[in-house]
Amino acid sequence: MEDYVVFGDLSMTKDQLQKKITKLAEKWLIILGLRNWVNINLQVSEESCPRGKDTVATAYPEWEYRHATIEFYLPACQEIDDDKLEYFFVHECCHILVNEMASKKKGARKHEERTVTQLAQAFLWTWKDGAGTLEKPTYKNRKPK
Ligand SMILES: [Zn+2]
């Protein structure tokens, strides 16, 4: 068995996690174009995910109604740092974005996971290396070509 290193905060409470998630939502739902959905419900469970204790979050999109729920699992969230939590937030939002194209065919879930992993990384890289602000660029503060 390998040593397991924890980078998170094992004492983080449900309320503290809810605050972090709300802050991530204020930033990322705008960037990802999900603010015009009818409802994005963000929940925190104090239990581990029934499908696996290392699962940080699960998205339940209902794209046809523009409703979605993302459930975060406190025990797994306590074991990761804020950067990883942000990655998983964006990853689950990407599941919401692509869910309309999801298929029940064998192996399709792996394709979706690969796609949303790549998209989440691309969004995070673009954010960090690019805009880095939610302020809309104006002609005055735009860099000259
Ligand atoms: Zn996923």
Q: What count of other Cβ atoms lies within 10 Å of the Cβ of residue 107? A: 8
Residues 70 and 24: their CA atoms lie apart, in Å, by 12
Instruction: Find the 59 Cα to ligand 1 centroid distance in Å.
Output: 8
**Has residue 142 been placed in a domain?**
no
**Has residue 8 been placed in a domain?**
no
Q: What does the pLDDT look like over 62-119, one tens digit per residue? A: 999 999 999 999 999 999 999 999 999 999 999 999 999 988 899 889 999 999 999 9
**Has residue 122 been placed in a domain?**
yes
Instruction: Find the 79 Cα to ligand 1 centroid distance in Å.
Output: 18
**Has residue 9 been placed in a domain?**
no
* Confidence category of residue 121, pLDDT binned at 50, 70, 90: very high
What sign does the CA torsion over 9, 11, 13, 14 have?
Answer: positive
Instruction: Find the 94 Cα to ligand 1 centroid distance in Å.
Output: 8
- The residue segments making up the domain with residue 85 are 14-128
**Has residue 133 been placed in a domain?**
no
Instruction: Find the 145 Cα to ligand 1 centroid distance in Å.
Output: 38
Residues 145 and 21: their CA atoms lie apart, in Å, by 37
Number of domains forming the structure of the chain: 1
Q: What is the CATH number of the domain that holds 123?
A: 3.30.2010
**Has residue 4 been placed in a domain?**
no
**pLDDT at residue 8 greater than cutoff 60:** yes
**Has residue 106 been placed in a domain?**
yes
**Has residue 5 been placed in a domain?**
no
Instruction: Find the 110 Cα to ligand 1 centroid distance in Å.
Output: 9
Q: What does the pLDDT look like over 22-66, one tens digit per residue? A: 999 999 999 999 999 989 999 999 999 999 999 999 999 999 999
Do the beta carbons of residue 43 and residue 66 sit within 8 Å? no
Return the SS3 of 55.
coil
Q: What count of other Cβ atoms lies within 10 Å of the Cβ of residue 91? A: 21
